[in-house]
């Protein structure tokens, strides 16, 4: 099928199926409009796809070859430059289009700014939002824009969706107060462990949307991201949490956001591509 707002980009490491037959549907959102520090997330989806060429499709510890799974890639959203809300509308409409032809497929977004997660959440209407991020993203508005990437968790909370945030090490006093007043629980990167994840996520209602802002990882793993922060999570900590989540909760959508850089094969893209393979593998286990 043809989607109104997407165009084809680089192929991934493995063969692909049509979206109608897929269980996992990859969608790029190359939006880069509200990042205040390091630009480059517009190249995120392309960089991640290209970095997959370095990886084996066989996942050793799962004994799964993701090349044998029904995966589609519907290309990248044609973004509206400078307008995160209009671009997120296109994300929402594209996922709605997908759901009409294949309601069971799990969309996997590659970004692109975190602001674009809102469009996916609006389309999929999860009961809970589980996010790995260095930032709380609970501002009401930032740089006069309520759809800035620093506000995405706030916009999602306002939809009545329950939230749990992990890997946090940046926020304002106001954001912390908002979280407290609205029952939003979060774990500082310093305090993060597997038990803290299970404790907060276990009681959350289903279905769940999983968002991974790549800046949740330690800076050494993700130097090319919009707003890097030292002191983040380890790769296997996040993988372990993803495994538990997909095994114990119904997950309706996933994203890997804020991947940036200008150099093919950059460290951040390699981290994101490996994460992508593990997420697909874990969903298929």
Ligand X SMILES: N=C(N)NCCCCNCCCN
Contact set with ligand X (CB under 6 A): 36, 135, 137, 149-150, 226-227
When CB distances are held under 5 to 8 angstroms depending on the partner's kind, the choice from ligand X, Mn ion, none that residue 36 binds is: ligand X
Backbone dihedral angles phi then psi of residue 65, each to the nearest 5 degrees: -105, 110
Annotated binding site for Mn(2+): 114, 133, 135, 137, 213, 215
Identify which of residues 97 and 113 has a Cβ nearer to ligand X in the complex: 113
Instruction: Evaluate the omega torsion of the peptide bond into residue 157 and state whether it is cis, within 30 degrees of 0.
Output: no
Answer for which of 73, 76, 122, 213 binds Mn ion (CB under 5 A) is: 213
Q: What residues contact residue 221 under an 8 Å CB cut-off, 6+ apart?
A: 232, 235, 267, 268, 271
Q: Which residue, 137 or 218, is less far from ligand X as judged by CB?
A: 137
Pair of tokens at residue 214: 């790549």
- Does 114 sit near Mn ion (CB under 5 A)? yes
* Binder among 73, 137, 237, 243 for Mn ion (CB under 5 A): 137
| Stretch touching Mn ion by CB under 5 A, among 28-36, 65-73, 182-190, 209-217 | 209-217
Residue 205 CB, nearest approach to ligand X (Å)? 25
State the minimum distance, in angstroms, from the CB of residue 84 to Mn ion. 13
Instruction: Report how far apart, in Å, the C-alpha atoms of 233 and of each of 78, 116, 236, 249 are.
Output: 32, 23, 9, 22
Picking from 88, 59, 15, 38, the residue whose alpha carbon sits closest to that of residue 276 is: 59
By C-beta, is 77 or 168 nearer to ligand X? 168
Is 175 a binding residue for Mn ion by CB under 5 A? The answer is no
The total number of residues shown for the chain amounts to: 285
CA dist 21 to 28, 71, 75, Å? 19, 8, 16
What is the C-alpha separation between 35 and 39, in angstroms, rounded? 6
**Quick one: what does residue 276 bind among Mn ion, ligand X, none, with the CB cut-off 5 to 8 Å set by partner type?**
none
The residue among 215 and 255 lying less far from Mn ion, judged by its C-beta, is: 215
CB 256 to ligand X: min, Å: 15
Question: Site for Mn ion (CB under 5 A): which residue of 49, 92, 135, 154?
Answer: 135
In the complex with Mn ion, the residue whose CB is nearer, 134 or 189, is: 134
Which among Mn ion, ligand X, none contacts residue 150 (Cβ within 5 to 8 A by kind)? ligand X
What are the helix (H) ranges across the chain? Answer: 44-51, 84-101, 117-124, 152-157, 173-181, 194-201, 235-248, 267-284
133 touches Mn ion (CB under 5 A): yes
Least separation in angstroms between CB 188 and ligand X: 16
The residues facing 28 across adjacent strands are 76, 110
**Does residue 114 come out as left (phi exceeding 0), alpha (psi in the -120 to 50 range) or beta?**
alpha
Q: Which is nearer to ligand X, 229 or 237 (CB)?
A: 229
CB 156 within 8 A of CB 117: yes
Residues that bind Mn ion (CB under 5 A): 114, 133-135, 137, 213, 215
């Amino acid at each position: 099928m043809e989607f109104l707002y997407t165009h084809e980009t680089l192929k991934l490491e493995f063969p692909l199926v049509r979206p109608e037959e897929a269980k996992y549907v990859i969608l790029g959102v190359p939006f880069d409009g509200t990042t205040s520090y390091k630009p480059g997330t517009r190249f995120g989806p392309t960089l991640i796809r290209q970095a997959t060429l370095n990886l084996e499709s066989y996942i050793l510890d799962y004994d799964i070859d993701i090349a044998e799974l029904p995966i589609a890639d519907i290309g990248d959203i044609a973004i509206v430059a400078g307008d995160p809300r209009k671009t997120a509308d296109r994300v929402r409409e594209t996922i709605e289009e997908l759901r009409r032809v294949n309601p069971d497929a799990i969309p996997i977004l590659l970004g692109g700014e975190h602001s674009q997660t809102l469009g996916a959440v609006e389309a999929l209407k999860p009961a809970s939002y589980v996010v790995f991020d260095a930032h709380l993203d609970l501002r009401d508005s930032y740089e006069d824009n309520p759809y800035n990437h620093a506000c995405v968790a706030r916009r999602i909370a306002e939809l009545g969706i329950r939230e749990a945030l992990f890997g946090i090490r940046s926020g304002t006093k106001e954001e912390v107060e908002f979280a407290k007043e609205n029952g939003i629980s979060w774990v500082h990167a310093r305090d993060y462990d597997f038990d803290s994840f299970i404790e907060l996520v276990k009681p959350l209602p289903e279905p769940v949307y999983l968002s991974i802002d790549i800046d949740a990882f330690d800076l050494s793993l993700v130097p090319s991201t919009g707003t890097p922060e030292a002191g983040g999570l380890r790769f296997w900590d996040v993988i372990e949490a993803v495994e538990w989540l997909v095994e114990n909760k119904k997950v309706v959508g996933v994203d890997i956001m804020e991947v940036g850089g200008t150099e093919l094969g950059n460290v951040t893209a390699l981290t994101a591509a490996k994460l992508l393979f593990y997420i697909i593998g874990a969903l298929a286990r």
